[in-house]
Structure 1
């Protein structure tokens, strides 16, 4: 970590030269018409990583990154181009290949996390967790790499949210066949849809006599992924009004983790 910190420019969240080299080809090209572009995309990404890692507000971005209005304008434009999702997915596939696995996974784990969302446009109440906010429905591969995230109000059940996840997985990760889940997903409608989409869902249950915390096979990796996400302070709560902005923040955080693993193995 000490050697890595010397490669960053100012803050630990800054892109190193090796990281920037990997994602620079994914940046949108300049328009051949109009005024010449003056913004540095590397600095824009540094600012966004700082924002998500530190949890600060837009107006509190350090002056080294330039006007925060410029950073915000480019964030919205790059988000509409799905750049953060693209960086995340490419880094995920590269990380799988570096581990000697196929780029597209064949198995995954699904779970959800209820989180407070004080400024969300629409919220719900999760009676089980006693939380007013949003629910993050995610799917990860068997090593914990994020494959899909879908946000709903917290009062949406796990099984209902998983049905939306299944549709998205089939489009973006077509080779996934086997999914692991907990007892909350053992519902007839979800199982019927999984069978229709050619998924096999295996429910991992706690042992009958277990008391307190128990590590469940195949299930613990998704809990670790939630832990990776909440190390980024912007994701400890959902501070965003819009769902698409919140999903972009998640992709910035997890994509940065995958990028650093690829550039500095």
Structure 2
């Protein structure tokens, strides 16, 4: 395989990631594909924003690359990678492996012309497409992502986000106590519901009343920076995915690539 692409894994990065790859199934044929090349190809798709069929011939066949991308989405491998790398980054930054505080926010993104499932219109942002709901730690690393129609309100999306987080990563949230949110999540009823259901405290960070133009708000800037990181991935510039779950996976892959660069 050629190593001329900037998205290709380095030896150090592959050494970290390879231990998180699921082992071969003893009842199946031995693998005859280079998984390092497969992951590098997925990173290429993520950053270049091209279609699967336009994958350069230096990589394995696009059908093989897509097979592993989809397989690891369904069996949760991408989530495991994201979780383990996140713990390693947090320890490197002298933090506890699992966070006690987090931030929630959402971002509306336009959909590609070929996308029709779970598409709506965000009348507040005047965007037709989907909405990314993020739960991030205080370093901006994504704990959970849920993609919904842009028509969904912030609170409705947050309810789905919290439910998915509790079902899929509850072991990572044992120490979570406080979540910072913006004014879109305010309301005594919603805050009380979160407290009664999950035992988490929502703290609303409000924009100063008389402020004009851009204002750097405490805590909220962390999740905004996470959204900014996605701008380095052309596949995330719009929602080109037929399934919302595929877009969620690309967000996880983007974070995996970012954390590998920090660790190695």
For the pair 1:178 / 2:178, whether they are aligned, the reply is: yes
Aligned to 1:155, which of 145, 151, 154? 151
Cα offset, 1:77, TM superposition: 1.3
Secondary structure of the corresponding residue to residue 235 of structure 2: helix
Cα offset, 1:209, TM superposition: 1.1
Which ranges of structure 1 fall in alignment gaps of 5 or more residues? Answer: 1-7
Partner of 2:224: 223
Moved more, 177-186 or 115-124: 115-124
For the pair 1:126 / 2:127, whether they are aligned, the reply is: no
Partner of 2:10: 16
Q: What is the alpha-carbon distance in structure 2 between the residues aligned to residue 186 and residue 178 of structure 1?
A: 15
Moved more, 183-192 or 51-60: 183-192
Partner of 2:236: 235
Aligned to 2:35, which of 37, 41, 45? 41
Can you list the C-alpha shifts for 1:169-212, whole angstroms capped at 9, x where unaligned?
A: 44242211101111110024421221111111110111121111
For the pair 1:66 / 2:66, whether they are aligned, the reply is: no
Partner of 1:5: none
Q: What is the alpha-carbon distance in structure 1 between the residues aligned to residue 68 and residue 219 of structure 2?
A: 39
Q: What is the alpha-carbon distance in structure 2 between the residues aligned to residue 107 and residue 86 of structure 1?
A: 21
Q: What is the alpha-carbon distance in structure 2 between the residues aligned to residue 134 and residue 71 of structure 1?
A: 26
Partner of 2:199: 198
Partner of 1:260: 261
Partner of 2:131: 135
8 A Cα contact 1:93 1:104, kept in partner: yes
Q: What is the alpha-carbon distance in structure 1 between the residues aligned to residue 209 and residue 173 of structure 2?
A: 35
Task: Please report the RMSD computed on the Cα atoms of aligned residues, expressed in angstroms.
Answer: 1.4
Which ranges of structure 2 fall in alignment gaps of 5 or more residues? Answer: none
Partner of 1:3: none
Q: What is the alpha-carbon distance in structure 1 between the residues aligned to residue 217 and residue 75 of structure 2?
A: 38
Cα offset, 1:75, TM superposition: 1.5
For the pair 1:91 / 2:91, whether they are aligned, the reply is: no
For the pair 1:56 / 2:56, whether they are aligned, the reply is: no
Q: What is the alpha-carbon distance in structure 2 between the residues aligned to residue 155 and residue 259 of structure 1?
A: 34
Cα offset, 1:67, TM superposition: 1.4
Can you list the C-alpha shifts for 1:59-102, whole angstroms capped at 9, x where unaligned?
A: 11000112111111222112112111211111111000001110
Moved more, 123-132 or 185-194: 185-194
Q: What is the alpha-carbon distance in structure 1 between the residues aligned to residue 158 and residue 25 of structure 2?
A: 40
Q: What is the alpha-carbon distance in structure 1 between the residues aligned to residue 175 and residue 160 of structure 2?
A: 17
For the pair 1:245 / 2:249, whether they are aligned, the reply is: no
Secondary structure of the corresponding residue to residue 26 of structure 1: coil
Partner of 1:208: 209
Partner of 2:99: 105
Can you list the C-alpha shifts for 1:113-171, whole angstroms capped at 9, x where unaligned?
A: 00011314121110011111110010111121111111110011001111222233442
Q: What is the alpha-carbon distance in structure 2 between the residues aligned to residue 188 and residue 156 of structure 1?
A: 20
Aligned length: 256
Cα offset, 1:34, TM superposition: 4.3
